Amino acid sequence: MYKEKAKKNEKTLTFKPGDLVWLQLRKERSSSARWNKLKSRGDMLLKILGKVHDSACKLGLLRDIGVSSTFIVGNLALYF
């Protein structure tokens, strides 16, 4: 019963290669030197290069960010 209620409110996000998405870098994903409460949260518009899994996508990131380019779809939002 609990599992059915949890799945009822769950939204499935599907992205295709070439889609534009918003990415929000969380504190855990960014390097400690880059994170500061006054700096931006890392909201950026990126293009999906490919799917790694149903729940993970590879993004076209800049090299100076210093994090892996694979993100779970929970950190992504489709750009309209």
| CATH code, domain carrying 33 | 2.30.30
Question: Residue 8 carries which side chain, given as an amino acid letter?
Answer: K
Token pair, residue 75, equals 């950190």
Give residue 37's domain range.
2-78
pLDDT at site 37: 61
Q: How many domains does the chain have?
A: 1
Question: Could you tell me the pTM of the whole model?
Answer: 0.65
CB-based contact 18:70 (threshold 8 Å): no
Instruction: Give pLDDT tens digits for 4-18.
Output: 887 777 667 788 899
pLDDT of residue 49: 92
Give tens-digit pLDDT for 11-57. 677 888 999 998 877 665 555 555 556 555 557 788 999 988 888 89
The DSSP 8-state label assigned to residue 32 in this structure reads T
Question: How far is 23 from 21, CA to CA, in rounded Å?
Answer: 6
From the list 51, 64, 68, the residue with the least C-alpha distance to 15 is 51
Whether residue 74 has pLDDT greater than 60: yes
